[in-house]
């Protein structure tokens, strides 16, 4: 039996700001339970809903010296959906309305978390063979294992995997600060280790010191070895390319299932979508005050509203797009410039545009189920889960060919009658608009072909089955 410990900053259903939480909360369920004992450590945020917090059991606590002070480290635990979770408790660090505060404070919070997460392992008597770290918040863990925690018998020989969900976020501040927060000696602050263009970089530590590095699609694994996508770490990514695996994400097929989803108006399958999917659209038009029209093409967006997701392209052609026979339904939060942009168009085209500037799980399911198409023109996209959810609900993705979008959406070919969506290559607003208009044309003029695209999309399998096998393969060679 191999023991694996996931360590991360977010995890569904406890706390989520994006796809990282979906992955950490679903992947562990899909390992072969006979061969792998996978447990998960996350912080015990006070923002975790009371329904879950009340189910946590207090295990024990101790004091850990961090940054010159003895700090409380409580250990809460819980079995949920067949997985054992440990929650690192420290109210000073993990209170507040969400998992993240400002960047400067987050650096200290997660530097503390890295040390605390490693420190609880002997206390709960769980000695993993492999620690699987996720994103910059856990970047110090592979470094600590070679340093502070290298001495004792307990930690000797533990292997590490560092998974990059988004290379853009690296946990960077000046060397002095990162050195103080990480409690690492001068030795580590050279350009081949944690120093990065004169700054200290926590993710870089993880990438340099982990035994294997993975990222969440094959295309992104290639892209981050180039200057355009490499976020100034492309040289390091090339240097580590021998231990760099791209493994595409899956989604939880139990949670995202149009045949059983309790959050949607009308459930449907690949055999009944032709009749039943539209009932969701009609219900959503009513709920959002959009014009009643079962025949109009409804385009959905569920996203963090940031530059990564290509919203400047959408902004550029919004008036042109809204002059077409389409309705646009947007759910998201993020940068004020995009929140306000969508509020404006919601006001300007009240009948056809609806913008919900909030985070709402139930509404996201309704959008995946109701829309005809889903727009995701990302500038870069390590994997992307929203397009997988759309495929699952027969909502045809329109995407830019980058990262995981390229690996998961097969562009429609009208001659060979293949494909599960629409895509364009260049980061160009009118190239995107042209692709949306091509999709409109198929939707309105070739209904049979459109429905075949929907059918192929729904028949695709992006459950974790195949990808969990690849992670197992990786764990097995370590
Ligand atoms: P990223 O992790 O870059 O934000 P992904 O596509 O991997 O992008 O994952 C986004 C996840 O967050 C999906 O599960 C999506 O449904 C969800 N999501 C994003 N914004 C919202 C929102 N405003 N309300 C509800 N769910 C959202
Ligand atoms: C990141 C990426 C997204 C990916 C998710 C889960 O948030 O932006 O593309 O799907 O992590 O791996």
- Calculate ∠ Cα 24-44-254, nearest 5°: 35
Ligand nearest to the CA of 223: 2
CA-nearest residue for atom 11, ligand 2, is 165
At residue 152, the pLDDT reads: 82
| Binding site membership of 381 for ligand 2 (Cβ less than 6 Å) | yes
Domains of the chain and any CATH numbers: 2-250+465-477 (3.40.50.2000), 273-460 (3.40.50.2000)
| Binding site membership of 384 for ligand 2 (Cβ less than 6 Å) | yes
| Binding site membership of 378 for ligand 1 (Cβ less than 6 Å) | no
At residue 151, the pLDDT reads: 84
Q: Please state the atom number of ligand 2 nearest to the C-alpha of residue 382.
A: 9
Give average pLDDT by consecutive 10-residue segment, the chain, 478 residues.
Answer: 98 97 98 98 98 98 97 98 98 96 97 98 98 98 95 94 98 98 98 97 98 98 98 98 98 97 98 98 98 98 98 98 98 98 98 97 98 98 98 98 98 98 98 98 98 98 97 98
Q: Please state the atom number of ligand 1 nearest to the C-alpha of residue 308.
A: 3
Distance 302 CA to ligand 1 centre (A): 6
For a ligand 2 pocket test, name from 9, 17, 20 the mutation site with the most ligand atoms within 8 angstroms of its C-beta: 20
Distance 157 CA to ligand 1 centre (A): 36
DSSP calls for 429-454: HHHHHHHHHHHHHHHHH-HHHHHHHH
Tell me the C-alpha distance between 63 and 74, whole Å: 9
**φ, ψ for residue 71 (rounded to 5)?**
-115, 145
Tell me the C-alpha distance between 201 and 136, whole Å: 9
| Binding site membership of 379 for ligand 2 (Cβ less than 6 Å) | no
Q: Which residues are CB-contacts of 11 (< 8 A; sequence separation ≥ 6)?
A: 21, 24, 25, 40, 42, 85
For a ligand 1 pocket test, name from 13, 17, 18 the mutation site with the most ligand atoms within 8 angstroms of its C-beta: 18
First and final C-alpha spacing in the chain: 14
- Using an 8 Å Cβ cutoff, are 397 and 409 in contact? yes
| Binding site membership of 313 for ligand 1 (Cβ less than 6 Å) | no
Beta bridge partners of 152: none
Convert 107-125 to b/e letters by CB count within 10 Å (16 or more is b). bbbbbbbbbbbbbbbeeee
Q: Which two tokens stand for residue 285?
A: 């038009």
CA-nearest residue for atom 12, ligand 2, is 165
Tell me the C-alpha distance between 16 and 22, whole Å: 8
- Using an 8 Å Cβ cutoff, are 133 and 125 in contact? no
Q: Please state the atom number of ligand 2 nearest to the C-alpha of residue 18.
A: 7
Q: Please state the atom number of ligand 2 nearest to the C-alpha of residue 168.
A: 8
CA-nearest residue for atom 3, ligand 2, is 384
Ligand nearest to the CA of 381: 2
What beta strand segments (E) does 267-407 contain?
A: 297-305, 326-334, 353-356, 373-376, 396-400
Integer-rounded Cα radius of gyration of the chain? 23
| Binding site membership of 18 for ligand 1 (Cβ less than 6 Å) | yes
| Binding site membership of 402 for ligand 2 (Cβ less than 6 Å) | no
How many CB atoms are closer than 10 A to CB 97? 9
Tell me the C-alpha distance between 417 and 455, whole Å: 12
Q: Which of 43, 53, 210, 66 is nearest to 117 (CA)?
A: 43
| Binding site membership of 217 for ligand 2 (Cβ less than 6 Å) | no
CA-nearest residue for atom 22, ligand 1, is 359
Tell me the C-alpha distance between 174 and 197, whole Å: 10
For a ligand 1 pocket test, name from 167, 250, 303, 467 the mutation site with the most ligand atoms within 8 angstroms of its C-beta: 303
Distance 384 CA to ligand 2 centre (A): 5
Tell me the C-alpha distance between 432 and 402, whole Å: 13
- Using an 8 Å Cβ cutoff, are 142 and 133 in contact? yes
Ligand nearest to the CA of 383: 2
């Amino acid at each position: 039996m191999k023991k694996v410990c996931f360590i991360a900053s977010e995890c569904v259903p406890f706390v989520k700001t994006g796809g990282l939480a979906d992955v950490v909360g679903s992947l562990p369920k899909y390992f072969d339970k006979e061969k792998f004992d996978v447990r998960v450590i996350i912080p015990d945020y006070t923002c975790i809903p009371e329904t879950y917090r009340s189910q946590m059991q207090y295990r024990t606590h101790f004091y850990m010296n961090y940054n010159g002070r003895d700090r409380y480290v409580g250990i809460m635990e819980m079995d949920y959906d067949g997985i054992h979770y440990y929650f690192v408790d420290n109210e000073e660090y993990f209170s507040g309305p969400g998992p993240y505060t400002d960047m400067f404070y987050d650096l200290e919070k997660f530097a503390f978390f890295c040390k605390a997460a490693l420190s609880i392992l002997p206390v709960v008597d769980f000695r993993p063979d492999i620690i699987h770290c996720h994103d910059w918040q856990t970047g110090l863990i592979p470094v600590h294992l070679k340093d502070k925690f290298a001495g004792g018998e307990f930690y000797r020989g533990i292997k590490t995997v560092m998974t990059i969900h988004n290379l853009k976020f690296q946990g960077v501040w000046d060397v002095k600060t990162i050195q103080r927060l990480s409690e690492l000696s001068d030795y580590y602050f050279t350009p081949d280790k944690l120093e990065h263009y004169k700054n200290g970089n926590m993710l870089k530590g993880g990438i340099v010191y982990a035994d294997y590095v993975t990222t969440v699609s094959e295309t992104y694994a290639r892209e981050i070895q180039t200057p355009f996508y490499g976020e100034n770490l492309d040289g390091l990514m090339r240097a580590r390319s021998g231990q760099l695996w791209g493994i595409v994400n899956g989604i939880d097929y139990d949670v995202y299932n149009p045949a059983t989803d309790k959050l949607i108006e009308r459930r449907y399958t690949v055999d009944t979508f032709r009749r039943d999917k539209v009932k969701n659209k009609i219900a959503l038009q009513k709920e959002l005050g959009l014009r009643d029209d079962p025949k109009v093409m409804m385009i959905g967006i569920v996203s963090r509203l940031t530059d990564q997701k290509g919203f400047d392209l959408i902004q550029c052609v919004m008036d042109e797009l809204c002059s077409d026979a389409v309705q646009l339904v947007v759910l998201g939060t993020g940068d004020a410039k995009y929140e306000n942009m969508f509020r404006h168009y919601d006001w300007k085209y009240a009948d056809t545009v609806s913008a919900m500037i909030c985070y709402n799980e139930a509404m996201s399911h309704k959008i995946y189920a109701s829309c005809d198409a889903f727009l995701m023109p990302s500038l870069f996209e390590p994997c992307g889960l929203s397009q997988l959810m759309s495929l699952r609900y027969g909502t045809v993705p329109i995407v830019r060919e980058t990262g995981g979008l390229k690996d998961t959406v097969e562009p429609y070919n009208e001659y060979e009658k293949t494909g599960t969506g629409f895509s364009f290559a260049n980061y160009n607003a009118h190239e995107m608009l042209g692709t949306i208009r091509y999709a409109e044309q198929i939707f309105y003029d070739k209904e049979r072909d459109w429905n075949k695209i929907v059918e192929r999309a729904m028949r695709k399998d992006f459950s974790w089955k195949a990808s969990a096998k690849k992670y197992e393969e990786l764990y097995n060679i370590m």
